[in-house]
Each structure stands twice: as C-alpha cells, then as structure tokens.
Amino acid sequence: MKRIGRVVSPLLTRAHPEGWSILERMSGRRFSLSITVLLSLLTIGIIGTARAQQSEEDPPLASIYVATSGAPVVVSPGIPAAQVDFPVTCSIPSTDPEGDPEPCQLQARVFFKAQGETWRSLSVDAVPGVSIRVVLPVPNANWVDYYVEVIETQTETVVYFPKDGEDGPLRYYIEATSQIHQLAATPFGSERAPTSSFSLGWGTSNGQVGMVGGDESQRIGPQALDVTDEGNIYLLDQMNQRVQVFSPSGSLLAVQTIPVGPLGDLVLEDDDSSYFVLDRLPAGPGSPPAIHHFDGPLLLPEGVSVGAGSSLTPSVPSPEEEPVSLRYTDGIVYTYGTPSDGWRPAMTDRNDLSEVPAFQITMPADPTGIEGATILRRVRFDSMRADVGLVGSTDGGSPDLESRIGLEPSSGRYFGELALVEPTPDGGFLVVIRTWTDQPDLLAHHEVIRIDGNGNVVDQFAIAHSEYAAAAPLSLFRLGGTGDLYELWSDSSGVQVRRFDL
C-alpha cells in the first residue's frame, strides 16, 4: 500500500508548486476534495487489482537443463538424417520453499539452416527426464546450423540452446569419412618416460601442495598448471588459496596468496605477465563462478598477497551453465562448461567480443599462421571414435572445416578423455587421449599422437603411471610455452610435474 500510495499521491495531491494536482493539470479542471478522494480510491483499487493479477499470473519459471554433448559434429553425406537425443531434465520450483519441485510438460522445436539456405523449423519430441530427439536433414551442403527451442507449457518458460543471439547455433559439417587412424596400442612397459620431472608433497608449507579429504580417503589436489615461454610452472594450489611458481627444475620462485574456492582452473596471458583463475565456487556451494585476473610480475617475494585483482563474471547461456575450464587465445578468455559442453568467450572488460566466432563444440586454439581458426574436437559417447578438426577461414568468409582426422582405439580398447588437441605448424595435430580397457589386469594410459599435415602419424607414445591413486584430478596436460608437453599427476605421496619433449 505504501508503494501504491507513492504512485497515486503525486497524481492527486495538490503538491504541484502551482497548487494543481497532476490529474487536474491533465484534465484542465480543478476537482473538489470529495472528487479527489474518490479518484484516489478508484486509482488505488485499479492499481491494486493489477498488481494482484500480476502476482497471480506469474508462476515460477521452470528450470530446464539440456545437455548438448551428443550433438553431431561431422556427418557423412548421403545418410537420410542426423538424429541425436539431447538429455533434458526439467522441474518447476514449488511455491512452498519447503516443497518439492513439480514435474514439467515440454514442447520443442528445432530451427535449422543449411549453408546457402534459409532458416526452417520442425517440431521435435521432448520428454522431461529423458531427452529431446532432434532429427535433422543431411543436405547437399557443407554444414548445417541449428538450435532448439524448448517450452515448458505450464509456466510458459522458453529456453533456447544454444542461447539464441549470443552464442550462435550448433553446427555439424557434412563430409565424407577420411583419414581414419586406428591407433596401435603401445605395449605396456613401452611407455615413454618424462624428459624431466619434480615432485611436491602434500602439505601447507611453501613448496608443498594442499589437498582436502572428501569422502573417506579421497584427495582433491591442485587443479591446474600453465607454463611460461621460459618453462616456469604456475601451479594453482587452491586448497591453500595460493599460486606457486616453480622453475623448470622445481625450485620455488614465488608464492602468491589469492582468495579462491576449492575448484577451478588457471591460464596464463600471452606475455606471461599475468594470469586468469576460474573460481568455480568462490563462496562455497551454489555461489556463482568468477574469473579473477591477477596482474603482477612473475617473481614476487614469497607470501605476498595480491588480493582479488579484477574479477569477471563468466558469460553463461543459462543459469544452469557451469564453467569448469579456461583457455586464453588471441587476447580472449574462454570458458568450457556444462551442459553446453562447449567453449564460449568470457565477458571481460579487456576484450572486444564483437569479432569472436561463437560456435559450439569448438575449442579455441592459437594455431600458428591461421588467424581466427578454431579446433574441433569430439569423442563419441560410445568411446569408439574421436574426431579432431581445424575450422577456419582465411578469406573472411564463414568458417569451413579445413582439415580433419578420425581416431579409433585398437581392438579391445576404448577412448576416455581427449586431454589435449593442438594444431601443429605443418597443418597437423598433436593429440593426447586416454585409452582404457575393461580387462582388469591391463592398465589405461594416455596416448600421445602427432599427425602431420598430410594425415600421417609421425610419432606415437604412451604415458603411464604405476599407481592410479585416489587424487583428483587424476592428471591433466598442457602444452607449455616451450612447446613441450606438461603433465600434472597426483598420487598418494603428492603431485608430480612432468615434462615430455616433443
């Protein structure tokens, strides 16, 4: 009522300097006091009714989560259609804060456009808790763009994936299968040892790394590393809320205290003078993620706090999106997240995003001599195929698939995570991919493959470990500024930073 009064009273009171109320000035007539009171009550009634109607007509929005990891990337020409199921979950929050969510009713439509054609649309089946089934044509074109509209009919919640107008559509390329490599399994015991490595024990002292005990004996250790052009290693030791910098031989160079949560990622800026940290949980469970940018020289006295630096809010397409990884290339910070399962430029105050191509299912990279190109990567959900491609255009036109390879595991093996994909100057690729088997007596390991611009495998070796321990992350890889491959490996005794010359 107070708010209504604040709206109504200027209309009716004779507060105007000339002694006229607003309504009187609008009508050109002065009102008697009784008329003024009557009009006041009438106006209050109208506004109050409108507000009541508004609150009754505004049901809570449904929470819709769609995973796009099943989206096709490359399809063969001549097949009748490309079909993919996108898992979808949906719930309507209860108006009772203590109540359980309500089930949803969904409708969905796919909008698609083949190269050279106009946008079209089709209705598609959507079952909450199961999937949205999208069936798309395979025309005589190089690619098809598409996005999906999902409507929860009871709440009239409408979502798009990808988010229309900001992230660009999904895309699949139409190209005949070529250059499929079935990887020969590296015999166990023939793995390549690192060129150099150093170890850090668990702990809170400088030169140690922190870990947290979760369930039973789970360990959660450092989440990320990046390497400068000189080979110095930045290690995100978030459990101790700090970044530690080590020389190539493992000597501690600097420690910077930073306020971060337990999970995140780190990436150096191009000139190595600053770095970005993705902070997934800056204020604990449920807190929105942040990207911190810490300026500062590489070498600082130990223990110097640098404060929060500048903080950025990652651009996310929906409230359900959760960024989990960072990349930095061409002056832009990208985040990778779920459920979009793709990379997108983060909103920063230093970057002009107007020229950034924003395609899903692409990983931005910094290929030498190919400006504006991006890397295409995908492991099929059945673990039996990995596709890697280079998407780019040197003529300023729409990006096309310029080169592509397919990888298949050797007999009896499967693919796990595609840990690293980098283009090489000769137009080929460097790929690090885990291979595993369901035979319990055989180990899994990461295969490192170099493929030249002609599609020939020029080098392949495996990286294995004697102990697959309970620490998380199990291992992660980065291509350092030196051009060598770096691995952060965790086990029961601590972490190892390992370098493999390429």
Task: Find the binding residues for other proteins in span 371-400 (CB under 8 A).
Answer: 377-383, 386
First to last CA, the chain: 73
Question: Does residue 181 touch other proteins according to CB under 8 A?
Answer: no
Question: Does residue 57 touch other proteins according to CB under 8 A?
Answer: no
Closest CB to other proteins among residues 235, 263: 263
Q: How far apart are alpha carbons 428 and 411 in whole angstroms?
A: 25
Question: Does residue 67 touch other proteins according to CB under 8 A?
Answer: yes
Asked if 485 and 472 touch (Cβ cutoff 8 Å), the reply is no
Q: How far apart are alpha carbons 267 and 476 in whole angstroms?
A: 13
Asked if 121 and 109 touch (Cβ cutoff 8 Å), the reply is yes
Asked if 245 and 296 touch (Cβ cutoff 8 Å), the reply is no
Question: Residue 69 Cβ, how far from other proteins at the closest point, in Å?
Answer: 5
Q: Which of residues 336-365 bind other proteins (CB under 8 A)?
A: 338-339, 341-342, 361
Bridge partner residues of 403 (DSSP)? 390
Asked if 67 and 339 touch (Cβ cutoff 8 Å), the reply is yes
Question: Residue 384 Cβ, how far from other proteins at the closest point, in Å?
Answer: 8
Would you say the C-alpha torsion 407, 413, 415, 419 has a positive or negative sign? negative
Tokens of 16: 């105007």
Of 20, 125, 330, 460, which lies in the binding site for other proteins, with binding defined by CB under 8 A? 125
Of 204, 442, 492, 501, which lies in the binding site for other proteins, with binding defined by CB under 8 A? 442
Chain center to CA of 385: 22
Question: Per-residue x/- mask for other proteins, residues 218 to 257, rule CB under 8 A?
Answer: x-x-------------------------------------
Question: Residue 262 Cβ, how far from other proteins at the closest point, in Å?
Answer: 4
Question: Does residue 474 touch other proteins according to CB under 8 A?
Answer: yes
Quickly list DSSP for 449-467.
EEE-TTS-EEEEEEE--S-
Q: Which of residues 184-223 bind other proteins (CB under 8 A)?
A: 212-218, 220
Between the alpha carbon of residue 62 and those of residues 14, 91, 158, the distances in Å are 46, 6, 9
Of 9, 43, 69, 107, which lies in the binding site for other proteins, with binding defined by CB under 8 A? 69
Closest CB to other proteins among residues 40, 325: 325
Of 8, 12, 23, 73, which lies in the binding site for other proteins, with binding defined by CB under 8 A? 73
Segment lying near other proteins (by CB under 8 A), choices 66-74, 248-256, 390-398, 454-462: 66-74
Question: Does residue 59 touch other proteins according to CB under 8 A?
Answer: no
Asked if 114 and 139 touch (Cβ cutoff 8 Å), the reply is yes
Segment lying near other proteins (by CB under 8 A), choices 49-57, 126-134, 349-357, 494-502: 126-134
Q: What angle do CA 272, 448, 191 make, to 5 degrees?
A: 115
Closest CB to other proteins among residues 280, 478: 280
Tokens of 203: 């702990």
Question: Residue 406 Cβ, how far from other proteins at the closest point, in Å?
Answer: 14
Between the alpha carbon of residue 57 and those of residues 48, 111, 159, the distances in Å are 14, 29, 19
Q: How far apart are alpha carbons 119 and 135 in whole angstroms?
A: 15
Cβ density class 124-140: b for 16+ within 10 Å, e for less: bebebeebbebebbbee
Q: Which of residues 302-341 bind other proteins (CB under 8 A)?
A: 322, 324, 338-339, 341
Segment lying near other proteins (by CB under 8 A), choices 23-31, 34-42, 82-90, 172-180: 82-90
Size of interface with other proteins, in residues (CB under 8 A): 73
Question: Does residue 128 touch other proteins according to CB under 8 A?
Answer: yes
Closest CB to other proteins among residues 280, 499: 280
Question: Does residue 72 touch other proteins according to CB under 8 A?
Answer: no
Question: Residue 2 Cβ, how far from other proteins at the closest point, in Å?
Answer: 29
Closest CB to other proteins among residues 119, 381: 381
Segment lying near other proteins (by CB under 8 A), choices 139-147, 171-179, 261-269, 397-405: 261-269
Asked if 197 and 423 touch (Cβ cutoff 8 Å), the reply is no
Of 247, 468, 492, 501, which lies in the binding site for other proteins, with binding defined by CB under 8 A? 468
